[in-house]
């Protein structure tokens, strides 16, 4: 099976739909399973006990876990000095700590199997050091560093860990971002265009596939930097 967090909307939903088209068995993790269109488990990735409970349920299914995709995340575009305390905490807790929890608690399943793939999500805002995204970028920079190091820790068990860092993709995370702001970001990419959810799904498919067995500890910046 393939597990996807944040499966009820945005990139997570698009990824689950693509995988189902490929006849993969997908289990979605979401804070509300009522929002899911697939088999799912209620889980708040920012809460350790919630993730631990979800991992326990997956273990009870006694099915191999081919891949775990950490697509759950939140964003806030604001200058650091005007970002309030709760927003800072929520960004770090959901994006960084949530990714760590999921990798920690689901890795033992893959370690026993001696194979599997984790796909985590960053943002091109890290590499481009985008103005107005400092706290969001910081939370995702942590994800990148964690992913590279975790990949080394998992290598002896044939478990791969990679990270996708998209530019601006048309999801709920882009609410409040103007077309001119998007154009400013994409103009800084090597390939200066706005990508679609389908492009990210293509990369997810690649990283899951055995054809990518040589790729681990990589951060793929969509559009290039």
pLDDT digits (tens, 9 = 90+) for 106-135: 999 999 999 999 999 999 999 999 999 999
Contacts of 14 (CB under 8 A, 6+ apart): 197, 198, 200, 201
Residue 181 pLDDT class (50, 70, 90 cuts): confident
| Lowest-confidence pick of 27-41, 54-68, 147-161 | 27-41
> CA nearest 41: which of 21, 77, 68?
68
> CA nearest 6: which of 98, 83, 88, 143?
98
Predicted local confidence at residue 46, as pLDDT = 97
72: three-class secondary structure by DSSP? coil
> CA nearest 4: which of 31, 27, 34?
27
Mean pLDDT, rounded, for 6-10: 92
Rounded CA-CA distance 127/56 in Å is 36
Q: Kindly give the interhelix angle for 197-208 and 10-21, rounded to the nearest 10 degrees.
A: 60
Residue 145 pLDDT class (50, 70, 90 cuts): very high
* pLDDT surpasses 80 at 172: no
| Per-residue DSSP letter, 73 | -
Residue 214 pLDDT class (50, 70, 90 cuts): very high
Phi and psi angles of residue 122, each rounded to the nearest 5 degrees, phi first: -115, -150
Residue range 2-216, CATH number: 3.40.50.720
């Amino acid at each position: 099976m393939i597990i996807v967090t944040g499966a009820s909307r945005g990139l997570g939903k698009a990824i689950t739909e693509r995988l189902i088209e490929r006849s993969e068995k997908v289990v979605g993790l979401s804070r509300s399973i009522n929002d899911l269109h697939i088999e799912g488990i209620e889980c708040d990735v920012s809460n350790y006990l919630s993730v631990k409970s979800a991992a326990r349920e997956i273990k009870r299914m006694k099915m191999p876990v081919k891949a775990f995709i950490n697509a759950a995340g939140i964003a806030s575009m604001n200058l650091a000095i005007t970002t309030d305390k709760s927003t800072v905490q929520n960004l770090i807790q959901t994006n960084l700590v949530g990714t760590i929890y999921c990798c920690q608690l689901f890795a033992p399943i893959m370690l026993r199997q001696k194979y599997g793939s984790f796909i985590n999500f960053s943002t091109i805002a890290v590499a481009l050091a985008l103005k107005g995204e400092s706290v969001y970028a910081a939370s995702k920079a942590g994800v990148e560093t964690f992913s590279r190091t975790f990949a080394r820790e998992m290598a002896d068990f044939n478990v791969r860990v990679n990270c996708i860092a998209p530019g601006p993709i048309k999801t709920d995370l882009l609410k409040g971002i103007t077309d001119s702001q998007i154009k400013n970001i994409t103009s800084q990419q090597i390939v200066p265009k706005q990508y679609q959810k389908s492009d990210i799904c293509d990369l997810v498919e690649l990283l899951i596939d055995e054809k990518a067995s040589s790729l681990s500890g990589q951060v793929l910046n969509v559009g290039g930097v």
